[in-house]
Amino acid sequence: VQLQASGGGLVQAGGSLRLSCLASGTFFSGITMRWYRQAPGKQRELVALITSGGNTIYDDSVKGRFTISRDNAKKTMYLQMNSLKVEDTAVYYCNSLPEWAPASFSGYWGQGTQVTVSS
């Protein structure tokens, strides 16, 4: 399983970015896809997830600003980030988790893409 995240960059506060995560070497159905982020000196945190059925969950800090989506035909997940804030600065990681996996399994990880929001 390989996950390739892209779309990060430098943007001013209030701007937008769209992250993509391409999955290869795996099927895409029955997989919950997740975006995490890790800011310097902080723990990795869940930003949003989307199940194989299209249900979504967002962290409170991004609700109303970020939108997670997926294109199953392209095996790609997206994160549209609007109204970006300086505190959104972090490395963003995509993660795939088979929905039948045991609770002890944390899923597969991509390499991360840097998002930097300037004031």
- Per residue in 95-116, pLDDT tens? 999 998 988 999 999 999 999 9
CA distances from 50 to 10, 70, 86, 87 (A): 25, 8, 25, 23
Residue 94: pLDDT band with limits 50, 70, 90: very high
Q: What is the pLDDT of residue 29?
A: 83
Q: What is the pLDDT of residue 14?
A: 98
DSSP strand E in the chain: where?
Answer: 2-6, 9-12, 17-24, 31-38, 45-50, 56-58, 66-71, 76-81, 90-98, 108-109, 113-118
Q: What is the pLDDT of residues 13-51, one digit of tens each?
A: 999 999 999 998 877 789 999 999 999 999 999 999 999
Whether residue 82 is predicted with pLDDT greater than 90 in this model: the reply is yes
